[in-house]
Structure 1
Amino acid sequence: MGTSSWHVLRGEDPAFALPEAAGQCGWVSQLRPLIVEMTEPGDVVLDPFAGWGTTLVACAVESRTGIGLEVSPERAEQARRRLEAYPGQTMLCADARKPPLPEESVDFVLGDLPYFGTNLDTHSGVDGQLYALRDYEDYLSALDEVFASITRIMRPGARAVLAVQNRRLGGRFVPLAWDAARVLGRHLTLGDERIHCYDRPTSDEGPMLTNRSHEYLLVAEKQPAHQ
Structure 2
Amino acid sequence: MAAATAAGFLFGPLRSTSVRTFRTLPADRPDPDTLPDWCDVDVRSIPAVPEWCIETFSDPGDAVIDPFAGFGTTIAAVDRLDRDGYGIERDPRRVAYVRDRVEHPRRVVVGDARDGRSAFITDASADREGFISSDGSKRKSLINGDDDEEDHEGGGVDPPSFDLCCTAPPFMLDWMDTDPFEGYDADGSYEAYLDDATVAFEAIADLLAPDAVAAVEVSNVRFGPGVSTLAWDLADAVDDADGLRFRTEIVLGFEDGDGRVEDDVDRDDGSRVDAGNRAVDAADDDRTWSPETGRYGYGYDHCYCLVFDRDA
* TM-score where L is the length of structure 1: 0.81
Structure 1's 123 and 96: CA in aligned 2 closer, same or farther, altered over 3 A? closer
Partner of 2:43: 24
Give the 5 Å matches for 1:33-48.
33-48=52-67
How far apart in 2 are the matches of 1:130 and 1:50? Answer: 13
Match status 1:149 vs 2:203: yes
| Cα displacement string for residues 54-113 of structure 1 (whole angstroms, at most 9, x for unaligned residues) | 111111111100001111111111111232xx3577211110000235687111000111
Q: How far did residue 170 of structure 1 move? A: 6.0
User: 1:197: which partner in 2?
Assistant: 253
Distance 2:210 2:168 in 1: 22
User: In structure 2, do the counterparts of structure 1 residues 131 and 165 end up closer, same or farther at CA, with 3 Å as the change threshold?
Assistant: farther
Show the 5 A alignment for 1:79-118.
Answer: 79-83=98-102, 86-87=103-104, 90-99=107-116, 100-101=119-120, 105-117=161-173
Q: CA deviation at 1:3?
A: 1.3
1:130 is displaced (CA, Å) by 5.6
Establish whether residue 219 from structure 1 lines up as the match of residue 307 from structure 2.
yes
Q: Which secondary structure state, in structure 2, belongs to the residue aligned with residue 163 of structure 1? A: strand
- Is the Cα contact below 8 Å between 1:35 and 1:59 reproduced in 2? yes
> What is the deviation of 1:221?
0.5
Structure 1 pair 12/80, CA: closer, same or farther in 2 (3 Å)?
A: same
Task: Mark the CA change 1:222 to 1:186 in structure 2 (over 3 Å): closer, same or farther.
Answer: same
Contact 2:63–2:160 (8 Å) recurs in 1: no
Q: Partners of 2:53 and 2:110 in 1: how far apart?
A: 25
**Which residue identity is paired with 2:218?**
V
Contact 1:52/1:76 (<8 A) preserved:
yes
The structure 2 residue matched to 1:161, chosen from 215, 223, 235, is 215
- Out of 169, 182, 196, the position equivalent to 1:129 is 182
Asked whether the 8 Å contact 1:72–1:129 carries over to 2, the reply is: no
- 2:83 aligns with 64
Q: Which moved more, 1:165-174 or 1:62-71?
A: 165-174
- Consecutive unaligned residues in structure 1, runs of 5 or more: none
- Residue deviations 1:23-69 (CA, integer Å, cap 9, x gap): 41423333222212211211110001110111111111111000011
* Partner residue in 2 for 1:6: 22
- Report how many aligned residue pairs link the two structures: 214
Cα gap change, 1:152/1:141 in structure 2, threshold over 3 Å: closer, same or farther?
Answer: same
In structure 2, the CA distance between the partners of 1:66 and 1:89, relative to structure 1 (3 Å rule), is farther
**Higher gyration radius (CA):** 2
C-alpha displacement of 1:17 = 4.0
Q: Aligned equivalents of 2:28 and 2:234: distance in 1?
A: 26
| Distance in 2 (alpha carbons) for counterparts of 1:112 and 1:42 | 22
Query: Structure 1 pair 147/183, CA: closer, same or farther in 2 (3 Å)?
Result: same
CA 1:5–1:23 in structure 2 vs 1: closer, same or farther (change >3 Å)?
farther
Q: Any idea what SS the aligned residue of 1:58 has?
A: helix
Quickly say closer, same or farther: Cα 1:53–1:60, change in 2 above 3 A.
same
Most deviating of 206-215 and 172-181? 206-215
Tell me what 2:192 maps to: 138
Measure, in 2, the Cα distance between the counterparts of 1:9 and 1:131: 30
Distance 1:130 1:164, change over 3 A: farther
Kept in 1: contact 2:98–2:105 (CA 8 A): no
Provide the aligned C-alpha RMSD in A: 3.0
